[in-house]
């Protein structure tokens, strides 16, 4: 399912490589047809924004959204476990899911980082991918709504995932997340206090220099973020 690798690329840190493969990403998503016409149309502003804006502006916006706003973190367990011990156990369980699927995470990016999860889902069947995303449905719903409130073009990616997973925004878990106040990415003092505890690292960064975009250039070769195990 190349579509999930394509979505992983869209949610990766912007790079010249990513900008170059936007047309191919668009073609993959349309050709595979895992997302409806309305969701694909909703991605067009993001395609155009990534392809046509200054790279420095893209990088600055990405950091402002995903790195400075904890309520918009792409590390999924951040939204339900924070820095509690439960998060460590959930990480181990997710790593075991990856390994059971024939892949091993080799980098420092946390296993619950959404672009990494999407890389893994690209190796799974459609029913398997839907089941895994349904488990994260409440988080995906919250991220989609929060990005929409900020009028971010990235909201379309999360909306497509919510639709694919058939995630229900009316669940108690989703409503609890949606009730949380949004971080102000311009309040650096508050954000520094929020991120006072260091995150666990797992090795070299699998998304540095946008490997998902390089994968698209290589016609969706196996991701460097996840290495096949024997």
**pLDDT tens digit string along 156-186?**
999 999 999 999 999 999 999 999 887 766 6
Mean pLDDT of the chain: 81
Determine how many CB atoms are found less than 10 A away from the CB of residue 182.
12
More confident residue, 107 or 118: 118
What CA–CA distance (Å, rounded) separates 191 from 69? 7
Cα distances from 166 to residues 19, 45, 69, 118, 140, in angstroms, run 30, 23, 26, 16, 11
pLDDT at 144 over 60: yes
Domain boundaries, the chain: 2-228
Q: What is the mean pLDDT of residues 143-155?
A: 95
- Does residue 190 surpass a pLDDT of 60? no
- What are the CA-CA distances from residue 42 to residues 29, 80, 160 (Å)? 12, 28, 9
Distance CA 39, CA 157 (A): 8
pLDDT confidence band for 202 (50 / 70 / 90): very low
Centre a 10 Å sphere on the Cβ of residue 218 and count the other Cβ atoms it contains: 12
Share of the chain above pLDDT 90, in %: 56
Instruction: Flag whether pLDDT at 206 surpasses 80.
Output: no
pLDDT band at 110 (very low <50, low <70, confident <90, very high): confident
Closest C-alpha to 123, from 40, 18, 210, 221? 221
pLDDT band at residue 192 under the 50/70/90 scheme:
low
pLDDT tens across 53-70, in order? 999 999 999 999 998 888
Per DSSP, what are the bridge partners of residue 75?
A: 113
Average pLDDT over residues 116-136: 93
User: What percent of the chain stands above pLDDT 70?
Assistant: 74
**Biggest CA pair distance of the chain:** 47
pLDDT at 197 over 50: no
**Residue 91: pLDDT above 50?**
yes
pLDDT tens per residue, range 2-41: 999 999 999 999 999 999 999 999 999 999 999 999 999 9
């Amino acid at each position: 399912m190349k579509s999930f690798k394509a979505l992983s690329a869209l949610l990766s840190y912007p790079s010249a490589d990513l900008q170059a493969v936007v047309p191919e990403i668009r073609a993959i998503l349309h050709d595979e047809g895992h997302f409806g016409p309305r969701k694909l149309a909703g991605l067009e502003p993001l395609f155009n924004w990534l392809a046509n804006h200054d790279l420095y502006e893209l990088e600055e916006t990405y950091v402002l959204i995903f790195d400075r706003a904890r309520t918009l973190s792409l590390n999924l367990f951040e939204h339900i476990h924070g820095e509690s011990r439960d998060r460590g156990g959930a990480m181990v369980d997710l790593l075991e899911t990856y390994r059971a699927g024939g892949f091993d995470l080799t980098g420092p990016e946390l296993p619950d980082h959404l672009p990494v999860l999407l890389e893994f889902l690209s190796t799974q069947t459609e029913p398997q991918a839907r089941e895994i995303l349904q488990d994260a449905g409440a988080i995906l719903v919250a991220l989609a709504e929060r990005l929409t409130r900020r009028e971010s073009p990235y909201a379309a990616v999360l909306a497509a995932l919510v639709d694919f997973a058939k995630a229900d925004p009316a669940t108690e878990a989703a409503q609890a997340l949606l009730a949380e106040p949004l971080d102000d990415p311009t309040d650096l003092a508050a954000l520094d206090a929020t991120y006072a505890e260091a995150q666990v690292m797992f090795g070299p960064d699998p998304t540095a220099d946008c490997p998902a975009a390089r994968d698209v250039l290589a016609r969706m070769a196996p991701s460097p973020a996840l290495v096949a195990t024997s």
